[in-house]
Amino acid sequence: MPENDELNLEQISRELREPVALDASFDARVMAGVRGLPRHVRRGVWSRLTTPRTVKVRPLSWAALAAALVFVAGVAALAAYPSAGEVSRRPVVALFQPTPRAPQRVQFVIVAPSARKVAVVGDFNGWDPEHAAYQALHRGGGVWSVTAQLPAGHHRYSFVVDDSVWMADPTAPRAIDKDYGLPNSAIVVGGSTQ
Binding mask of the shown chain, residues 30 to 69, with x at each position contacting another protein by CB under 8 A: xx-xxx-x-xxxx---------------------------
> Which one, 63 or 133, has the nearer CB to another protein?
133
Q: What's the closest the beta carbon of residue 190 comes to another protein, in angstroms?
A: 20
Among 127, 144, 157, 159, binds another protein (CB under 8 A): 127
- The answer to whether 72 and 31 are in contact (CB under 8 A) is no
Among 19, 44, 85, 141, binds another protein (CB under 8 A): 19
- Contacts of 40 by beta carbon, 8 Å cutoff, 6+ apart: none
In Å, what is the CA distance from 184 to each residue of 36, 77, 181, 187? 23, 40, 9, 10
Applying CB under 8 A, does 79 fall inside the site for another protein?
Answer: no
Number of H helices, E strands in the chain: 5, 8
Applying CB under 8 A, does 164 fall inside the site for another protein?
Answer: yes
> Which one, 143 or 182, has the nearer CB to another protein?
182
Applying CB under 8 A, does 135 fall inside the site for another protein?
Answer: yes
Helix (H, G, I), strand (E, B) or coil at 93: helix
- What is the rounded distance in angstroms from the CA atom of residue 147 to the CA atom of residue 60? 26
